Structure 1
Amino acid sequence: MPQLDLMTSLAIETFAHAIQAIFLIGFASLLMYYHRYYQRDYLRYWSFACFAFGPSELIRAALAGSAMIAPESALSWSGGLQGVALTFQYLAIAFIALGASCAAFNSRPQTYWQYVAYAVSLISGIISYFWLEPTISYVGSTPNAGFMRFLVTGAALLIIGLFMWRKLGSGIGPKLVSGGFFSIGIKNFLVLSVILSLPANAVDWVLSFQALLTVIIIAVVIVGVIIWLLESERNTAVRAIQRAEYLHTHDALTGVSNRAQLVSKIPLFIEYCRSNNRHLTIMLVGVSRFKVVNENIGIRGGDQVLKEIARRLQNFNKQPLTVSRISGDVFAIAFDHLKNRSLIQDLATELQDTLNEPIEVGEKTLSIAAGVGIARYPQHGSRSEVLLNKATIALTQAKQSHQPTITVYERGMDEMYAYLVDMEPVLRKAMRENEFTLYLQPQFDFDHQQLCGFEALIRWQHPERGLLSPAEFLPYIEQLGLSTELDDWVLNQAAAILTSWKQKFGFCWPIAVNLSAPQFQHFQLIEKMQRLLEDYNISPEWLELEITENVAMSDLHNGMSVIQRLREMGFGISIDDFGTGHSSLAYLRSLPINKIKIDRSFVSELQQNNNDATILKAMIRLSHGLGKRVIAEGIETEEQQDMLQKLGCDMMQGYFYSPPMRLQFAEQFIERQIQSNKKPLPPGEFATA
């Protein structure tokens, strides 16, 4: 191998370092541009690494160039500059390591790791300054320079390259980048072995051209980064397409199939059932009063409830063919092994029990009630939309009651459902144009033998059919979800009547208003009643709020919290239709109420059935023992009145005393009471706090 003279070696060294520096600074600018466009943290760190490597190579190029011009003067300060160059080199290694961590874990390293990397770089540079001997070039320099420059850098890049090769994806781009770092590490070890083992002329050749090899490897790394970014963008686009396809067939919140996917699957299920002589059962599960759940625990809490419902349906012990979410709180599940109707009923009951188990949402525990609507193939149809429509009609029927039930589609439900749809605009128009009116039925106190209040009863003055009783329209109001709007209208009408009585008579007789279940199951009722008191300037004891016993029992936690708050505000609360529920006496003590209204079914059978008299006596005694007054409704004969009075009933209401009457007749009734010197009883007389 020919001998390489010093000037030629320095010229090659200067050229190689200068090209490498320019190349690195250009690459740094390119990486920074890519970082701004792609927002990848590893690009920023690697850009910093190139910005650190560039000055390091410029310093070496300057040392080599100055050595060609004035060797003696360059020798005096070459040691310090080489220490600075090595410090920049170690800093670049730190940035490469931080960038590799970002790329592998897709997150920025903790701040303290960044400080550790910077501190190690600085300390290594200081050590280099005191360890290196002054030399104008690495050609012919001592092994210390080779150790600090090639061994440390080579080991670091080998480790980084292996780490990236194992942790990053299998794409060409990441492999080129990690392979490039690994190659530079291998190259540095080879250079160090040359310095330690080969003769001087061979070392001169290797050391003069190794920087050019580094330039080539860096070019490969640049190409790898570009390919990596292109692959990443392509993968992102592919994932976006896959996500869009997934969302097209799946529910984004719960991960189960959506309605479109279910509709496309049902024909396949039907074909399978037809071929194997099996029956297909579609069950729609709807959460009762899910709006109340959202109001009590928030939208995010409601989302957690829906996720838990989906999880329970997917893990149901009788594995369904599919689980789908087809609307807000309605899920569909399909089974293909059920022929016997009793088996379907049992399975639906088991499904209800599974969903009714308490659900933990944060620190709260709540229970939901779910109705189940069922349609079957081939009994109810052979097309997807037909079966889903039949199941929807059955579900609507199942959710009508306060405690949702299980309903299998039956012939004739379509007509009722269609009639319900036709009734909605008619009922909304009736509310909008004040076609409803309040009738007032007097209530009397046994002890004082005088009027003690009224119950507000709604009627519909239909423009074509005349006066309609509640039985002819209230069921449709409930099914259409208009109960809250109608209750609001009744409350405002009652408050307006009380205000007019205050102005006309100077005092008021309480009016009892029967509210529907949805009102008592969310806390908006409290704010609503507060606004009502302020808007009409009335006292809370003038309004009594009635709730049926079955509604009170259906949601004790939420409902009782609302009732307790209303009682604290001063409103009278009474339980209507008491005695018809299955757990009346057991829960009587826990109800925050002040009055109990005995159902008319007990009163009507009072004379014929001794058992009813015994039950009534027990109810009245228990109620009095708990500080609650008792009112009996539906009294139609004097005999019924006498028996109830003997049993200790406090108040009475019924046609024996007066039917429900229009407002003008109720006011005439009040005037007769005033003429008889009978004024409203003090609140303590008819409402026990």
Structure 2
Amino acid sequence: MPQLDLITSLAIETFTHSIQALFLLGFAALLLYYYSFYRRDYLRYWSFACFAFGPSELIRALLAGSAMVDPESTLGWSSGLQGIALTLQYLAITFIGLGASCAVFNNKPKQYWLYVAYATSLFGGIISYFWLEPSISYTSSSPNSGFMHFLVTGLALFIIGVFMWRRLGSGVGPKLVSAGFLSIGIKNFIVLYGLYAITGNSLDWLLSFQALVTVIIIAAIMVGIIIWLLESERNTAVRAIQRAEYLHTHDALTGVSNRDQLVSKIPLFIEYSRSNNRHLTIMLVGISRFKVVNENMGIRGGDQVLKEIARRLQNFYKQPLTVARISGDVFAVAFDHLKSRSRIKDLAVEIQSRIAEPIDVNDETVYIVAGVGISRYPQHGTRSEVLINKATIALTQSKESHQPIVTFYERGMDEMYSHLVDMEPVLRKAMNDNEFQLYLQPQFDFDHQQLCGFEALIRWQHPERGLLSPAEFLPYIDQLGLSAELDDWVLNEAANILMHWKRLFGMCWPIAVNLSAPQFQHFQLIEKMERLQQEFGIEPEWLELEITENVAMSDLHNGMSVIQRLREMGYGIAIDDFGTGHSSLAYLRSLPINKIKIDRSFISELQHSNNDVTILKAMIRLAHGLGKRVIAEGIETEEQQDILQKLGCDMMQGYFYSPPMRQQFAEQFIERQIQGNKKPLPRDVAAAY
């Protein structure tokens, strides 16, 4: 091996450190470019490491180059530059460690780790400044310099390399990068060993060319990072394809099968049932008024409810063949070992009970009610879509009542369902073309012997069939889910009438509006009423909101807060069709209402039935005892009026006084009241007993 003098050694060091510095700075720029494209945090930290390592190597190249010209002068200020170079080197090591942490944990490190990195690097630089002896070459440096430069760096990179090797995947890229860090660490250990164990010309060659080895290893690390990124993109693409395939057959939110997957599975279930003499049962479980849950708890709260329902169905004690979510609030469950119709119904009721158990979401308790529609193979069909469609028809039937029930598909339901589907565009057109009309039926106060308000009753002026009563179209409105839209129309129309009366008469007689069940189950109704006040300039006491007894009692938990808020705003709340439902004294006492409306079924046979008289007497006394006013509807004879007056009924309405009338006739009615010096009753008289 040829002899290596000091000038030649300095020249080699100048060249290798310069190349290494340029290589590192170029590498840093490339990593930043990759970071801007791939947005991997470890690329950014490693680019910072190269930006720190590069100037460190430039300083060493400067020291070696200056020493070739004027060794004595360079030796005087070499300690300070060596301290700066080591500070930058330690900073680079900490950035490499932070980048390795990002790569392994796929998580950005906390901000305080950056401060720790800066403090550690500065502390190492200060120590090196006071500890190192001035030198102009590795060949002339002391063991302390070797310790600070090679041992600390080598140990840190070796640990980082082992950490990444063990924690990262088996890809070629990550392994090559890990091996690169390990190689630099091992190279530094070899150099450090040479400083203590080798002397003479061999040590000079080792120290002079060790930086060139570092350049080669850094190039290998760069190649490894490029391979790593390519592998990562390929894996991302593969995962995206797998995810797309999964989403094609599964519901993204709940993880159960979707409709397409269910349709593809049912033929397999049918074949298995046919060959094993079994009956296949398809149950569609539809959540009642799920929109209310979303509006009250937000979309995320609704998602949590759906996940819990899916979990309960999957973990049902009678393990189903499959569970699928086929639409927003409808799940499908399949069983293949049920032949008895009564056993199927019992199982469906158990599913309803399981779903009805309270669900805790964000410190709130949600109560869910579900209807179940059932179709069976071979009784109802032999194809997937047929069985699902017939179960859907049965589910639609089950949801018609306010308390959803278990419904089997029966012959003839198809015609009803088809008619329902045909009615939807007709009804929507009627809404858009203003074919609906609001009729007003007067209500009278007994004590004051005067008009006390009106009830709004909707009619459909059909272009071909003439004027239609509510019984001819409201059931379709409910089944098609158009109740909220129709209620909005009625509220706006009533508010417009009240605004007109205020301008025409300078005063308003209250109008009572009967709202559908969903309106009272969410706080959107409060927003609607506030909007009506602002838009039409009406007062809350001019509008009274009616809710049927069955609806009030079926979802008391969700509706109570809405009704209470409306009462606080000044709106009157009445229970319509009282006596036909299942209310208890406890519920009636707790409901924040101010009026009870007795159903016409108790009035029609009043003069011929002592039982009805007894029941009415008890109802009126009960209502008065609870501070509620009582209004009787459907009065058609003077005898009915006299009996009710003796029983203490406060208000009455019916054909005996006046049929429902158009707005212009209602205004003529009001004018006669004004001519007789009658004015709207004060709120405290009209609204409370």
Q: Structure 1 residues 434 and 22 mapped into 2: Cα distance closer, same or farther (>3 Å)?
A: closer
Letter in 2 for 1:408: F
- Which residue of structure 2 aligns with residue 252 of structure 1? 252
Cα pair 1:78 1:135 within 8 Å, conserved: yes
- How many Å apart are 1:239 and its aligned residue? 1.7
Q: 1:63 to 1:380 in 2, by over 3 A?
A: same
SS in 1 for 2:603: helix
Q: Deviations over 1:657-676 (max 9, x none)?
A: 55445556656666666677
Whether contact under 8 Å (1:140, 1:200) holds in the other structure is no
Match of 1:257, SS state, is coil
Bigger mean CA deviation after superposition, 486-495 or 30-39:
486-495
Report whether the alignment pairs 1:551 with 2:590: no
Contact 1:603 1:640 in 2 (8 A): yes
Q: Which residue of 2 aligns with 1:339?
A: 339
Bigger mean CA deviation after superposition, 217-226 or 156-165: 217-226
Name the residue aligned to 1:513: 513
SS at match of 1:410: coil
Give identity over the alignment, percent. Answer: 81
- 5 Å-filtered alignment, 1:39-50, equals 39-50=39-50
What is the Cα deviation at residue 182 of structure 1? 0.8
2:31 pairs with 1:31: yes
* 1:391–1:4 Cα change, 3 Å: same
Alpha-carbon distance, 1:337 to partner? 2.4
Aligned residues: 689
Q: Is 1:56 aligned to 2:59, yes or no?
A: no
| Residue 155 of structure 1, CA deviation | 1.0
CA distance, structure 1, for counterparts of residue 88 and residue 204 of structure 2 = 25
Q: Which amino acid aligns with 1:206?
A: L
Which sections of structure 2, spanning at least 5 residues, go unmatched? none
CA-to-partner distance for each residue in 1:220-259, whole Å, 9 max, x for gaps?
2121111111111111221222222222222223332222
The AA in structure 2 aligned to 1:652 is M
Name 2:399's counterpart in structure 1.
Answer: 399
1:168-567 superposed matches below 5 A? 168-495=168-495, 497-498=497-498, 509-533=509-533, 538-567=538-567
| Per-residue CA distance 1:8-35 (angstroms, 9 max, x = gap) | 4344333333333333233223222222
CA distance in 2, matches of 1:365, 1:60: 69
TM-score normalised over the length of structure 2: 0.92
Structure 1 residue identity aligned to 2:338? L
My pick for the range that moved more, 9-18 or 25-34, is 9-18
Q: Distance in 2 between matches of 1:496 and 1:20?
A: 83
Residue number in structure 2 paired with 1:119: 119
| Counterparts of 1:204 and 1:132, CA distance in 2 | 20
For 1:531 and 1:688, locate their aligned partners in 2 and report how far apart those are by CA, in whole Å: 26
Q: What do the CA deviations read for 1:239-285 (whole angstroms, capped 9, x no partner)? A: 22222222222222333222222222222222222222222222222
Shift of 1:154: 1.3
- Report the alpha carbon displacement of residue 349 of structure 1 after superposing the two structures with TM: 1.6
Aligned to 1:14: 14
User: 2:138·2:208 contact (CA, 8 Å) conserved in 1?
Assistant: no
Paired residues for 1:156-171 under 5 Å: 156-171=156-171
- Specify the alignment match of 1:152 in structure 2: 152
In the alignment, the residues of structure 2 paired with residue 77 and residue 322 of structure 1 have an alpha-carbon distance, to the nearest angstrom, of 79
CA contact (8 A) 1:374 1:409 kept: yes
| 3-state SS in 1 of match to 2:319 | coil
Residues 51/426 of structure 1: CA separation in 2 closer, same or farther (3 Å cut)? closer
1:444, distance to aligned residue in structure 2 (A): 3.7
CA distance in 1, matches of 2:398, 2:681: 44
What's 1:101 paired with? 101
Amino acid at match of 2:462: H
Deviations 1:625-650 (A, max 9, x none): 11112222334455544443443322
In structure 1, distance between residues paired with 2:409 and 2:83:
87
Relative to structure 1, is the Cα distance of residues 565 and 200 closer, same or farther in structure 2, using a 3 angstrom cutoff?
A: same
C-alpha distance in 2, partners of 1:445/1:25?
Answer: 93
User: Structure 1 131/610 Cα, relative in aligned 2: closer, same or farther at 3 Å?
Assistant: same
Query: 1:623 maps to what in 2?
Result: 623
The alpha-carbon deviation at position 359 of structure 1 amounts to 2.8
For the residue of structure 1 that corresponds to 2:334, the secondary structure is strand
Q: Provide the rounded CA distance (Å) in 1 between the counterparts of 2:499 and 2:60.
A: 96
C-alpha distance 8-402 of structure 1, shift in aligned 2 (>3 A): same
Report Cα offsets for 1:119-175 as digits up to 9, x if no partner.
222222222222222333222543222222221111111111111111222111111
Rounded Cα–Cα distance in structure 2 between residues aligned with 1:469 and 1:666: 19
Q: Indicate if the aligned counterparts of 2:553 and 2:582 stay in contact, CA closer than 8 A.
A: no
When residues 485 and 222 of structure 1 are mapped into structure 2, their CA distance, relative to the original with a 3 A threshold, is closer
SS at match of 1:467: strand
Partner of 2:76: 76
Letter in 2 for 1:143: P
Question: 2 CA distance for matches of 1:150 and 1:483?
Answer: 79
**Higher mean C-alpha displacement, 584-593 vs 645-654:** 645-654
Instruction: Pick which of 405-414 and 578-587 moved more.
Output: 578-587
Q: Which segments of 5 or more consecutive residues in structure 1 lack a partner in the other structure?
A: none
Shift of the 206–459 alpha-carbon distance from structure 1 to 2, 3 Å rule, reads: closer
Task: Please report how far the alpha carbon of residue 497 of structure 1 lies from its aligned counterpart in structure 2 after TM superposition.
Answer: 4.9
Q: What letter corresponds to residue 523 of structure 1 in structure 2?
A: F
For 2:48 and 2:504, locate their aligned partners in 1 and report how far apart those are by CA, in whole Å: 86
Secondary structure of the residue that 1:575 maps to in structure 2?
A: strand
Q: Please say if residues 180 and 218 of structure 2, whose CA atoms lie closer than 8 Å, have aligned partners that are also in contact.
A: yes
- Aligned-residue Cα RMSD (Å) equals 2.9
| TM-score (norm. length: structure 1) | 0.92
**Shift in alpha-carbon separation, 1:72–1:664, aligned structure 2, 3 A:** closer
Q: 1:445 to 1:183 in 2, by over 3 A?
A: same
Letter paired with 2:262: L
Q: Deviations over 1:303-323 (max 9, x none)?
A: 333333333333333332222
1:61 and 1:485, CA in 2 relative to 1: closer, same or farther beyond 3 A?
closer
Higher mean displacement: 393-402 or 198-207? 198-207
Q: 1:658 to 1:90 in 2, by over 3 A?
A: closer
Higher mean displacement: 536-545 or 391-400: 536-545
1:450, distance to aligned residue in structure 2 (A): 4.8
Task: Tell me the alpha carbon deviations over residues 478-515 of structure 1, each in whole angstroms, 9 at most, x when there is no partner.
Answer: 11222233333434444455566667767554443322
Aligned partners of 1:568 and 1:144: how far apart in 2?
82
* 1:283 alignment partner, SS class: strand
Letter in 1 for 2:32: M
Structure 2: how far apart are the matches of 1:36 and 1:666?
A: 72
Kindly tell me: are residues 154 and 633 of structure 1, through their superposed partners in 2, closer, same or farther at Cα, counting changes over 3 Å? Answer: same
Q: 28-37 vs 157-166, which deviates more?
A: 28-37
The 3 A distance-change label for structure 1 pair 578 and 135 is same
Question: Matched residues in 1 for 2:133 and 2:157: separation?
Answer: 25
CA deviation vs aligned residue, 1:353-391 (integer Å, no higher than 9, x gap): 222233333243332322222222222112121112112
**Is the Cα–Cα contact under 8 Å of residues 491 and 513 in structure 1 kept in the other structure?**
yes
